[in-house]
Amino acid sequence: MTLPPNVYDAEPIPDAARAEIDRMLADGDLFRYTSDDSPVALLEQEFAAHMGVKYALACASCSAALFLALKSLGLPHGARVLIPAFTFAAVPSAVVHAACVPVLVEVKDNYRIDIEDFESKLESADAILISHMRGHTSDMDAILALAFAHDIPVIEDAAHSLGTEWHGRKIGTLGRIGCFSFQSYKLLNSGEGGILITDDADIIARAVIMSGAYEHNWKKHPVLQDRFAHWQNKLPLYNTRLGNLSAALLRPQIAEIPRRVRDGRRNHDYVAGLLNASPWLHVPPPLEPEARAPDSIQFNLKGFSDDGARAFADAAEARGVKVQIFGLSEDNARAFWNWQFLGDMPDLPQTRAMLMRACDARLPARLKRAELDLIAAALVGAAEDVKGKALAYGT
Ligand SMILES: *Cc1c(COP(=O)(O)O)cnc(C)c1O
């Protein structure tokens, strides 16, 4: 009998990391700026090459990357930054940390930005920060065209979207700056960590210095040196670097990206097909240009009350599968009304309605067909536990 799988464990770190880590344990060389070709510097070069961009800067987290991205744009105090109202609390937090003001944009029940609301809020915006939540990609054609027309820079929060593509272009390379996370739940895992990518020499020079390339440590970045010289001593040092140990864990995982993407997509699409066969569950289809790299599945409950939705989550857990309903699980960090640190904010009825019925279940790329069948059966069965089988198929 197949038991419900453990969906929380990450994949093992490739063996190739071991020799490098042993070397570091022997010589204690853990700081990226001790040498010119430290593991962190090599990670940056390899990640930039993988993404097809000129520059990358590794840092302590994706939140730190987002913060540095905002700072490197040189936004004034109090600048208004559009963000989707469906994102992780770390995103509005990074905006606040950068002394900017987040402006929340409505999200539709397919988890993607409401372009009409986006456009209506654009006039007063100084920057745009698009979170591709779990890889669900909003209409980037419309967003980039509007941003270009208004001359407003776009940062992509691709923390959990590595491997997703839009018209065959890698997510995170569409805007001026892209940011990714290496926290353990993301596609590449070093426990903690993040990386910022850009093709803009001035932005990378500013971000590198502010990340903590004090004195002339920026000379250890293979980047246009005149921009660094220009910014020398003119920027604060926020010291949010990545260490060599983390980079050694990450470098051999880059080669794993294609397999993790392929398996995650296959697993997701298989389970989505099974869930969509239920009259009570709906996995919103992607926009046409999107090819995602999922390690979880999101779906909406159809025709459920709040109590019914809670009962569904309980029934799924009783069947061995944990489901989070973003707006109903207590203190969920992706429910905007829990971001009380922002102070007063307008209600966003569309996003709120979505969050109250949108479910989240982990679906790691390593799962096998029998485990996927079990998860899908538990979810479909849980809906039937609440709504009744007869009703579902009745006349
Ligand atoms: C994980 C995540 C973050 C934060 O990443 P950290 O590396 O933990 O700071 C930000 N945005 C999204 C969409 C995420 O999924």
pLDDT at 1: 62
pLDDT at 395: 46
pLDDT band at 390 (very low <50, low <70, confident <90, very high): low
Are the beta carbons of 221 and 229 closer than 8 angstroms? no
Residue nearest to atom 14 of ligand 1 (CA): 159
Ordered by where they begin, the domains of the chain are 16-255 (3.40.640.10), 256-387 (3.90.1150.10)
Span 259-270, average pLDDT: 97
181 CA distance to ligand 1 centroid (A)? 6
350-385 residue pLDDT tens: 999 999 999 999 999 999 999 999 999 999 999 999
166 CA distance to ligand 1 centroid (A)? 20
Which ligand 1 atom sits nearest the alpha carbon of residue 182? 7
In 142-260 the beta strands, taken as DSSP E runs, fall at: 154-157, 165-166, 169-170, 177-181, 194-198
pLDDT at 239: 98
Its pTM stands at: 0.96
Which residue of 88, 171, 185 sits with most ligand 1 atoms within 8 Å of its CB, as the best mutation to test the pocket? 88
90 CA distance to ligand 1 centroid (A)? 6
**What would the DSSP string read from start to end of 123-170?**
TT-SEEEEE-GGG----HHHHHHHHHHHT--EEEE-TT-TT-EETTEE
Residue nearest to atom 5 of ligand 1 (CA): 62
Residue nearest to atom 12 of ligand 1 (CA): 159
Residue 366 is encoded by which pair of tokens? 């390593």
Residue nearest to atom 2 of ligand 1 (CA): 159
**The pLDDT of residue 176 is above 80:** yes
81-122 residue pLDDT tens: 999 999 999 999 999 999 999 999 999 999 999 999 999 999
Which ligand 1 atom sits nearest the alpha carbon of residue 186? 1
Instruction: Return the biggest CA–CA distance within the chain.
Output: 75
**Please, what is the average pLDDT of the chain?**
95
Least confident of 40-49, 146-155, 279-288, 381-390: 381-390
Q: What angle do CA 33, 35, 41 make, to 5 degrees?
A: 70
Q: What angle do CA 330, 336, 340 make, to 5 degrees?
A: 85
Sign of CA dihedral 126, 129, 130, 133: negative
Are the beta carbons of 312 and 329 closer than 8 angstroms? no
- Give, rounded to a whole angstrom, the gap between the first and last alpha carbons of the chain: 35
| Binding-site residues, ligand 1, Cβ < 6 A | 61-63, 87-88, 90-91, 131, 133, 157, 159-160, 181, 183, 194
**The pLDDT of residue 155 is above 60:** yes
**The pLDDT of residue 294 is above 80:** yes
pLDDT band at 386 (very low <50, low <70, confident <90, very high): very high
pLDDT at 349: 98
Which residue of 57, 62, 336 sits with most ligand 1 atoms within 8 Å of its CB, as the best mutation to test the pocket? 62
CA distances from 197 to 45, 97, 148, 173, 319 (A): 11, 20, 19, 8, 42
